[in-house]
Amino acid sequence: MRNTNRQTTTRTLADLYRALDRQHAVTITYLAPGDTEPTVRTIEIADIRTTKNGGIVIVAMCRLRGEERQFVLSGVLSYTLHRIAYVLDRPAPTKYVRPAPAPADNADALFFYELARDQDDADYTPRTLIQTDAALAA
């Protein structure tokens, strides 16, 4: 078991990315924001994302719940890397469909177009970046 307070965030992320690449399960001791008691979860990491605030979120299938969950990296107190392969099936992401162009001649139509677009953005799934995306390197 590795305690995250005894190592750098870079080291923790490197270990978690390695588990993601090899598709090995990870057991974490996690303290959710607002909770007082930590929980122990075995997860299968699907993605590691950065939020707009600069926080890091682990998107994973939780073996306890059998559902996709998000864990904030700062809430991970300790973790153990396993050699156990993934066993849970991740649900397929929803497909984003770009809406028709906005009407430019009618204010009411534009208002309802924007309202519908905002509601559709809740289902938007951003593109997952992978290590071979060399075009994004700058």
Find residue 8's DSSP bridge partners.
none
What CATH number did the domain enclosing 68 receive? 2.30.30
Task: Name the pLDDT band for 107 (thresholds 50, 70, 90).
Answer: confident
Looking at the structure, do residues 108 and 52 belong to the same domain, yes or no?
no
Its pTM stands at 0.65
Per the domain annotation, does 112 fall within a domain?
yes
- Convert the pLDDT of each residue in 86-101 to its tens digit: 988 887 766 666 656 7
Per the domain annotation, does 19 fall within a domain?
yes
**Domain extent for 113:** 92-128
What distance in Å separates the CA atoms of residue 53 and residue 99, rounded to the nearest whole number?
28
Look up residue 121 and give its two tokens. Answer: 């953005």
Looking at the structure, do residues 23 and 50 belong to the same domain, yes or no?
yes
What distance in Å separates the CA atoms of residue 58 and residue 79, rounded to the nearest whole number?
13
Side by side, the strands of the sheet bearing 67-72 are: 2-3, 76-85, 24-30, 39-50, 56-62, 67-72
Q: What's the half-sphere exposure (Cβ side, CA atoms, 13 Å) at 121?
A: 6
Per the domain annotation, does 105 fall within a domain?
yes
What distance in Å separates the CA atoms of residue 69 and residue 23, rounded to the nearest whole number?
17
- Convert the pLDDT of each residue in 109-127 to its tens digit: 777 777 776 665 555 555 5
Per the domain annotation, does 108 fall within a domain?
yes
Per the domain annotation, does 107 fall within a domain?
yes
Looking at the structure, do residues 70 and 111 belong to the same domain, yes or no?
no
Looking at the structure, do residues 79 and 103 belong to the same domain, yes or no?
no
- Convert the pLDDT of each residue in 17-58 to its tens digit: 999 999 999 999 999 988 899 999 999 999 999 988 889 999
